[in-house]
């Protein structure tokens, strides 16, 4: 899957940095992941546009339903996702520098944030369902469960990818920088998709 | 140093967190009147979100160091998303 091993080759980014020259443009991670990211972004964009069209058709129902959500919880979820994005970016930086122990620490922070986000989301679902707001309550809640459910699915896939990154970083024979960057790119996508979902479901009026 | 220095990443995180808190203030229902659609709130929330996503892509995802093609593709998607959302909201 990867052809770039830190254990067998010097870190070219460190060489670039040491010479104080402007680094040559490179795609972080595998280009295939960027194709996936753009496909996912386009797919979710279609969901977001359809949601907004319905929001404009039934503003009263959407606003009343939206008011049932806890905006503070949405903010906390967003701060958790942003923190996880920051930590996986640090993980990439430490991996490039060859500091694998530090990279693992940041990887654990990312995974912990991902798990915390998932637990809070499932708990939010339970709370909403307990108050009688289910998938079939109305169109807003159908969108709410669909969008947050699709996103949580991506969080779980992201956590599996973080597991692959963990496997790379803990094994000196592997340590593929490219694979770490690829996993990070997916995780950042999970972050920016949530940033949009947060705005649509919790903020937009 | 590596491409994205730790201090830069921390500043980016702080900026994104700050913008999120701004969105919280925008999204909160101010006053005691009935809930009603507010185009200024909705459109500013969408604009802020597009800025946030672009910051995530440029800084965290390192698109700013990527080849011009990737910069153009990511910006093209953001522009398409912006136009789509604007059209959906204003119809």
For A116-174, the pLDDT digits (tens) are 999 999 999 999 999 999 999 999 999 999 999 999 999 999 999 999 999 999 988 88
A24 within a domain of the structure (yes/no): no
B29 within a domain of the structure (yes/no): yes
| Residue in chain A nearest B39 by alpha carbon | A205
B1 within a domain of the structure (yes/no): no
Q: Could you tell me the CATH number of the domain that includes residue A63? A: 1.20.120.80
Task: Give me the number of domains chain B comprises.
Answer: 1
Which value does ipTM take for this structure?
Answer: 0.91
Of how many residues is chain A composed? 205
For residue A87 the two structure tokens come to: 């930590």
Counting one residue from A and one from B, how many pairs have CB atoms under 8 Å apart? 148
Task: Give me the number of domains chain A comprises.
Answer: 1
> Which of residues 49 through 88 in chain A touch B, CB cutoff 8 A?
49-50, 52-53, 55-56, 59-60, 63-64, 67, 71-72, 75, 78-79, 82-83, 85-86
Residues 6+ apart with CB under 8 A from A80: A113, A116, A117, A120
Are A90 and B9 a contacting pair, CB within 8 Å? yes
The answer, for B47 touching chain A at a CB cutoff of 8 Å, is no
Interface contact B38-A205, CB threshold 8 A: yes
A18 within a domain of the structure (yes/no): no
Interface contact A204-B13, CB threshold 8 A: no
Q: What pTM did the predictor assign? A: 0.89
pLDDT of residue A16: 39
A121 within a domain of the structure (yes/no): yes
B66 within a domain of the structure (yes/no): yes
Q: Which residues pair with A176 in a beta bridge?
A: A5
Domain of residue B78 covers 6-90
B82 within a domain of the structure (yes/no): yes
Domain of residue A94 covers 29-203
């Amino acid at each position: 899957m990867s052809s770039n091993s830190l254990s067998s080759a010097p870190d070219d980014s460190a060489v670039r940095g040491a010479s104080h020259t402007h680094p040559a443009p490179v795609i972080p991670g595998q280009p295939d992941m960027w194709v996936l990211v753009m496909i996912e972004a386009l797919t979710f964009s279609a969901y977001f546009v359809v949601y907004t069209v319905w929001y404009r058709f039934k503003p009263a129902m959407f606003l009343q339903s939206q008011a049932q959500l806890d905006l503070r919880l949405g903010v906390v979820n967003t701060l958790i996702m942003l923190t996880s994005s920051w930590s996986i970016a640090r993980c990439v930086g430490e991996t490039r520098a060859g500091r694998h122990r530090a990279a693992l620490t940041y990887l654990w922070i990312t995974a912990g944030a991902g798990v915390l986000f998932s637990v809070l989301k499932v708990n939010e679902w339970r709370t909403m369902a307990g108050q009688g707001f289910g998938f079939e309550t109305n169109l807003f809640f159908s969108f709410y469960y669909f969008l947050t459910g699709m996103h949580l699915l991506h969080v779980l896939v992201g956590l599996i990818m973080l597991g692959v990154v963990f496997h790379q970083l803990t094994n000196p024979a592997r340590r593929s920088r490219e694979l770490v960057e690829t996993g990070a790119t997916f995780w950042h996508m999970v972050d920016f998709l949530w940033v949009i979902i947060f705005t649509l479901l919790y903020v937009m009026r | 140093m590596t491409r994205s220095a730790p201090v830069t990443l921390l500043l980016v995180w702080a900026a994104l967190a700050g913008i999120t808190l701004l969105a919280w203030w925008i999204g909160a229902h101010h006053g005691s009147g009935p809930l009603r659609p507010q185009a200024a709130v909705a459109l500013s929330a969408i604009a802020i979100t597009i800025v946030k996503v672009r910051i995530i892509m440029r800084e965290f995802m390192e698109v700013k160091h990527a080849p011009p093609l990737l910069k153009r593709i990511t910006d093209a998607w953001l522009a398409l998303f912006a136009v789509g959302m604007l059209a959906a909201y204003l119809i």
